[in-house]
Chains A and B, each alone.
Chain A
Amino acid sequence: EAQVTQNPRYLITVTGKKLTVTCSQNMNHEYMSWYRQDPGLGLRQIYYSMNVEVTDKGDVPEGYKVSRKEKRNFPLILESPSPNQTSLYFCASSASGTSGREQYFGPGTRLTVT
C-alpha cells in the first residue's frame, strides 16, 4: 500500500531534550515536506526537499533541522525543543513533474513540549 508513515504519532517531551520525528514514504517520490498545523494558523511549511541531499527552508524553519540522506526518508530534528514548538506535525511527499503536484500526507505527529 502506497503511504507516508510518521513516528512517533504522539510525543511528550521536556524543553531542551533533542528529538527526531521520522518520516518515510514508499512511493519513490522525489519531493518531501514537513508542516506544522496550529489552530487558527493552518498548515505552515517548515522545510522541503527536492531530492536526496537537496533541502530548503519553508516559512517557519527556525528551531528545526532536516536531512535527506535517502530518498524514502526525511526526518525532522528538534535540537532543543521549546514549548512554542508544541504542535501537530505532518510529513508529505509528492512525485516530480507538473502532474505530480499532489501531496500525500502522513497521519501526523502530535508533539507536546513542556
Chain B
Amino acid sequence: AQRVTQPEKLLSVFKGAPVELKCNYSYSGSPELFWYVQYSRQRLQLLLRHISRESIKGFTADLNKGETSFHLKKPFAQEEDSAMYYCALYSGGYQKVTFGTGTKLQVIP
C-alpha cells in the first residue's frame, strides 16, 4: 500500500530563513508527487509537481527515488508563505491519491 509521511505537524521559521518541509513516500510503482498548499480560509491549490521541475513562489522540490523523498524547499521564507502544506502521491493512471497529514508552516516576522 502506498503511504506519504510528513513528519512535522508544525514548522516555525523566521522571515528570511530557509525552509524545508519534509515528505517521504512509500510506493512500489513509479511515483507522481505533488505539493498542495492551503492558505487560511482558502481552498487547497496546487503548488508544484515533480514532473515539471518548476519553481513556484520560490519553492522547489526534487524527487529523490533513492531516499524516497520529495522535500519542499525555499531559500528565504516570507510571511505570506504561512499556510498548511500537503504532499500528495498519485498511483498509476487513475486518481487514487494519498495525501500526507500536512505540515503547518508558520513564518515569524
Chain A at the B interface: SS class: strand
Is residue A106 contacting chain B, with contact meaning CB distance below 8 A?
yes
Chain B residue contacts of A106, Cβ below 8 A: 43
Interface residues of A in 15-58 (CB under 8 A from B): 31, 33, 35, 40-45, 48, 50, 56, 58
Interface residues of B in 32-69 (CB under 8 A from A): 32, 34, 36, 43-46, 49, 51
B101 touching A101 by the CB < 8 A rule? no
Give the complex CA separation of A31 and B47 in angstroms: 19
Give the one of A50, A103, A108 with max B CB within 10 A: A103
Which one of A43, A50, A108 lies within 8 Å of B99 (CB-CB)? A43
Is residue A102 contacting chain B, with contact meaning CB distance below 8 A?
yes
A33 touching B97 by the CB < 8 A rule? yes
Assuming the contacts A43-B86, A105-B43, asked whether A58 and B96 have C-beta atoms less than 8 A apart, the reply is: yes
Assuming the contacts A40-B101, A45-B96, A94-B95, asked whether A101 and B32 have C-beta atoms less than 8 A apart, the reply is: yes
B interface residues with partner A (beta carbon < 8 Å)? 6, 9, 32, 34, 36, 43-46, 49, 51, 86, 90, 94-102
Give the complex CA separation of A48 and B91 in angstroms: 13
Shortest distance in angstroms between A37's beta carbon and chain B's nearest beta carbon? Answer: 9
Chain B residue with minimal CB distance to A6? B43
Interface string of A85-109 (1 = CB under 8 A from B): 0000010101000100111011110
Chain B residue with minimal CB distance to A31? B95
Is residue A59 contacting chain B, with contact meaning CB distance below 8 A?
yes
Assuming the contacts A102-B46, A106-B43, asked whether A44 and B94 have C-beta atoms less than 8 A apart, the reply is: no
Assuming the contacts A40-B9, A101-B32, asked whether A45 and B43 have C-beta atoms less than 8 A apart, the reply is: no
Chain A residue contacts of B98, Cβ below 8 A: 45, 59
Give the complex CA separation of A53 and B34 in angstroms: 27
Chain A residue contacts of B51, Cβ below 8 A: 98, 101
B45 touching A50 by the CB < 8 A rule? no
